């Protein structure tokens, strides 16, 4: 019996990138409001929207989301009419972070209301690099079946080889202490896969635990740890907005006490495109960190579009 053609809706950017890495970009029929890579996917119909105003400072957005979560289970809405019109065979969502994207519960509730299709829901919830590999594999199997196993394995082999190549070159290098900041106001350290990427790139993460959600932190914590390197990677922000939001750090009275400030080792990144997306470009994120930590050894070409010094030389 002939299988119907794939009609995939991806409701998280990382899943969109996984689908495209697996060679299935032409099977995508819908996306979330945040899916923007590869650039061609921005032409697809949008199936989600935030319930809050995403414009404003880090502090303002944090307050809006916190207020919304006191009265609602989700901070995003799913366009059920759009799902109905697109008649997907598969919808990919996540159960990793209720604040970052549409949740599994949101999608299941929406699918229950569909009358013209009964799509299979694929939910991803990675917290570390090995789980990202697993998600790529399981998504490939769900979409391509056993016949696509070789294709999935080839994608994973390429990503893992890049990781190994980077690691092999850090073996005999110095190991800087590092603070990765995922939100500037209030302060939040980067957790989940980021401490793992820091270690693989030849650094020592001082905050956040591998596989654990990103923790809040205090300025006293930051000053006491006094990292050699600070990498700023706010969730959902590009380089320009990250530079703007870094003012909340620079203007803090304890900022000047930090060794990384005094030595000029403060860096901003495009967290939205790289570190915040648990998909194939986490390998790019690793390579970005390697460039930052060991600029005399690594030059992958990300400087300028993936990261910049906070204070340009």
Q: Could you say which DSSP state residue 273 is in?
A: T
Instruction: Name the H helices within the chain.
Output: 13-21, 58-69, 80-86, 104-111, 129-144, 149-168, 194-200, 219-225, 239-245, 247-250, 259-262, 282-293
**Among 101, 84, 79, 81, CA closest to 92:** 101
Q: What's the CA gap between 12 and 106, in Å, rounded?
A: 13
Q: What's the CA gap between 14 and 50, in Å, rounded?
A: 18
Q: What's the CA gap between 148 and 307, in Å, rounded?
A: 35
Q: What's the CA gap between 14 and 158, in Å, rounded?
A: 17
Query: Domains of the chain (ranges plus CATH)?
Result: 8-125 (3.40.50.1980), 171-309 (3.40.50.1980)
Q: What is the pLDDT along the chain (313 residues), one digit of tens a residue?
A: 457 799 999 999 999 999 999 999 999 999 999 999 999 999 999 999 876 556 667 666 656 555 555 655 566 788 999 999 999 999 999 875 555 556 677 778 788 888 778 899 999 989 999 999 999 999 999 999 988 899 999 999 999 999 999 999 999 999 999 999 999 988 999 999 999 999 999 999 999 999 998 999 999 999 999 999 999 999 889 999 999 999 999 999 999 999 999 999 999 999 999 999 999 999 999 999 999 999 999 999 999 999 999 997 6
């Amino acid at each position: 019996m002939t299988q119907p053609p794939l009609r995939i809706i991806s409701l998280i950017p990382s899943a969109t990138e996984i689908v495209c890495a697996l060679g299935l970009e032409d099977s995508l029929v819908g996306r979330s409001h945040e899916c923007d890579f590869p650039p061609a996917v921005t032409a697809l119909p949008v199936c989600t929207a935030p319930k809050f105003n995403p414009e404003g400072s880090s502090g303002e957005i944090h307050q809006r989301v916190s207020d919304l979560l006191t009265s609602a289970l989700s901070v995003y809405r799913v366009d059920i009419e759009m799902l109905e019109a697109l008649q997907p065979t598969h919808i990919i969502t996540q159960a990793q972070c209720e604040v970052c994207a549409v949740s599994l519960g949101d999608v299941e509730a929406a699918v229950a209301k569909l009358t013209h299709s009964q799509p299979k829901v694929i939910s991803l919830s990675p917290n570390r690099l090995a789980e990202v590999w697993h998600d790529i594999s399981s998504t490939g199997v769900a979409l391509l079946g056993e016949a696509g196993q070789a294709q999935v394995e080839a994608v994973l082999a390429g990503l893992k080889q890049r990781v190994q190549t980077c690691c092999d070159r850090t073996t005999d290098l110095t190991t800087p202490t590092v603070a990765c900041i995922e939100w500037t106001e209030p302060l939040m350290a980067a957790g989940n896969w980021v401490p793992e990427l820091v270690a693989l790139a030849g650094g020592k993460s001082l905050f956040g635990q591998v596989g654990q959600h990103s923790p809040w932190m205090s300025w006293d914590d930051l000053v006491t740890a006094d990292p050699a390197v600070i990498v700023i990677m706010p969730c959902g922000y590009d380089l320009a907005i990250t530079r703007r939001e870094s003012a909340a750090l620079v203007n803090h009275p304890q900022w000047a006490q930090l060794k990384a400030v005094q030595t000029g080792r403060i860096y901003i990144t495009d967290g939205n495109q790289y570190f915040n997306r648990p998909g194939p470009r986490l390998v790019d994120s690793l390579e970005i960190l390697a460039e930052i930590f060991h600029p005399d050894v690594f030059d992958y070409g990300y400087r300028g579009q993936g990261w910049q010094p906070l204070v340009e030389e």
